Structure 1
Amino acid sequence: MTDKKPFAWETAIAWKNKDRIVVRGYDVNELTGTISFAEHFHLVLKGELPTPEVGRMTDAIMVNMAEHAMSPSSATVRFATSGGAELNAAVAAGVAGIGRLHGTADRPAELFLSVARRADEEGLADAEAARRVVAEMRAVKERMPGFHHAQHIRDPRTARLMDLSGKLGITGRHVTIARAMEDATEAVFGRRIWINGPGAMGCVGLDMGYEPLQLKALFIVCRSLSLCAHSIEEMTREKGWRASSNSPMVQPLDLSMQGPDHYDGPADRTLS
């Protein structure tokens, strides 16, 4: 005999039975056609419906970050699709390509939180804590997540997100810290290092009440739209393997790209 109860997944997110599906206490049919997907994202992830301002800002971030043309994740999706991967597998491959240097809002969010903690612990003004952190990261040549974009230099997405955050009354301490860090780069680097899109998403997201991992989830969810589109286009428009010899351009997997002219390993040798 045992007093152990039967196994069940313990969750505060949702439950269902034969007749109902309930999400965070709301019947899914009451939510359907009533709230936006961005509001539903907030509800599922955080447990409560957002304020109208946070709901609108969440939606804006999703639109702003959903598509970025060819990037590591979309290129990964296309290569996976080129090899015959099904849509879900190709998109999973693309999501796996979202890493420390691509598609992260969680890392800049963690950086902004660390500046706030330092200001509190050392009794510094936020701007001074921001300046010290920038100087210290520069001294050890540590990358500043959320700043600079190799393709845009000044990311065109940033200004729109920051402006909308201000108009909606969301801008708070973490946006202020991010701007102070950007200001500090001029003296430390001798040039301005601009906040990039994920950096803007990070600081605005913190001021909206999201945690870093929740912001990473937000990026993954919205960018998956793009990854689906790239996979579908690749499978319906292009030939498999990206290696066709009769293509009007040299394909990435073409044999001409893999010959000895592009090899710098050991010369031909034998076991004898």
Structure 2
Amino acid sequence: MTKGTPSHWVTGVSEITTQDIFIRGYAMSELVGAVPFSAITYLLIRGELPTPGQSRMMDVILSSILDYGLQKSGTLAARAVVSVNPSMTAGLSAAVLAAGQHALSPEDTGRFIATTFAAWKESGRSMDEAAAVLVQDLRAAMRRVPGFGHQVFRHVDPRAERLKSIAKAEGVWGEANEWYEAVHRAFQLASNKPDLVLNDVGMLAAIMVQMGFTPEEMCGLAILSTVPGLISHISEEMQSGIRNRLVPDSHVEYASPRRDLANDLVDAGWQ
């Protein structure tokens, strides 16, 4: 296409030429073997090479959700699908569709942190004061704070604490993280729940906000993190020889009583 000709697509992500493939302007032949997968992932999404600390944090992010086992709806969906359609692509697609607001994805938490963090920066209030006001408003509106709470852990989520310590060590801890922790403290105090934890998804989201990722990018990275585990589950299911996974009757409660069709048709006005 000659210069000045209107184009259908404009992208700064990649270019394929007769000489090489270029990723964000860097030759793929130079990147491969010189830069780890985590750093190339950061480069692709953020558009710039990461610092060594950012690259190591990316490696942690991509290793943080590797597998939830059969406790994750996406794993169940993938295994059920490949039991009738033995295809890796079908299984992965089913699992990806199971990531969302109530499972796996830190997107909503990231959006909450980014939005409230920006509002605090413009408010002129101290961090703790703004956090207390925010929590008061949220509780009045009966809204939950995403990223708080866990069905097992109390007081501390060890996974979140590990993420925090690594983020600090790698130089990617900052104001967005401090803000989210201030909101957590304010919520514990206002709800009189000192054992309410800031969970791993919340900590991941806060770290990714600090690193500059959008909420939508966080969702993609969380899915990417689960892919190795999904591949192993799908492969195991395909090799099991079991076909057409069903929910056993012992796990189902049928809630409708037996009904009389003939009488009910008459009552509904049928001739």
Tell me which interval the TM-score lies in, with the shorter structure as reference length.
Answer: 0.7 to 0.9
Q: CA RMSD in A?
A: 2.1
Question: 1:44 and 1:54 mapped to 2: Cα distance?
Answer: 14
Q: Which amino acid aligns with 1:142?
A: R
Aligned CA distance change for structure 1 residues 152 and 75 (closer, same or farther; 3 Å): farther
Deviation track 1:61-88 (CA, whole Å, cap 9, x = no partner) reads 1111222222122222122222324111
Aligned CA distance change for structure 1 residues 15 and 60 (closer, same or farther; 3 Å): same
Is the contact between residue 101 and residue 107 of structure 2 (CA under 8 Å) also seen in structure 1? no
Aligned to 2:107: 106
Deviation track 1:152-182 (CA, whole Å, cap 9, x = no partner) reads 4553310100011111222111110111112
Aligned to 1:16: 16
Secondary structure of 2:63's aligned partner:
helix
Question: 2:14 and 2:72 mapped to 1: Cα distance?
Answer: 34
Flag structure 2 segments of 5+ consecutive residues without an equivalent. Answer: 266-271
Q: Which amino acid aligns with 1:25?
A: G
Aligned to 2:191: 189
2:211 is the counterpart of 1:211: no
2:157 is the counterpart of 1:155: yes
Q: Which of 224, 248, 254 does residue 248 from structure 2 map onto?
A: 254
Deviation, structure 1 residue 25: 0.9
TM-score, length of structure 1 as denominator length: 0.86
TM-score, length of structure 2 as denominator length: 0.87
Aligned to 2:244: 241
Question: 1:255 and 1:110 mapped to 2: Cα distance?
Answer: 41
Deviation, structure 1 residue 201: 0.7
Q: Which amino acid aligns with 1:96?
A: L
Aligned CA distance change for structure 1 residues 114 and 129 (closer, same or farther; 3 Å): farther
Task: Give the aligned length.
Answer: 257
2:260 is the counterpart of 1:269: yes
Secondary structure of 1:88's aligned partner:
helix
Deviation, structure 1 residue 124: 1.0
**Percentage identity across aligned positions?**
26
2:203 is the counterpart of 1:226: no
Aligned to 1:173: 175
Question: 1:6 and 1:116 mapped to 2: Cα distance?
Answer: 40
Flag structure 1 segments of 5+ consecutive residues without an equivalent. Answer: 244-252
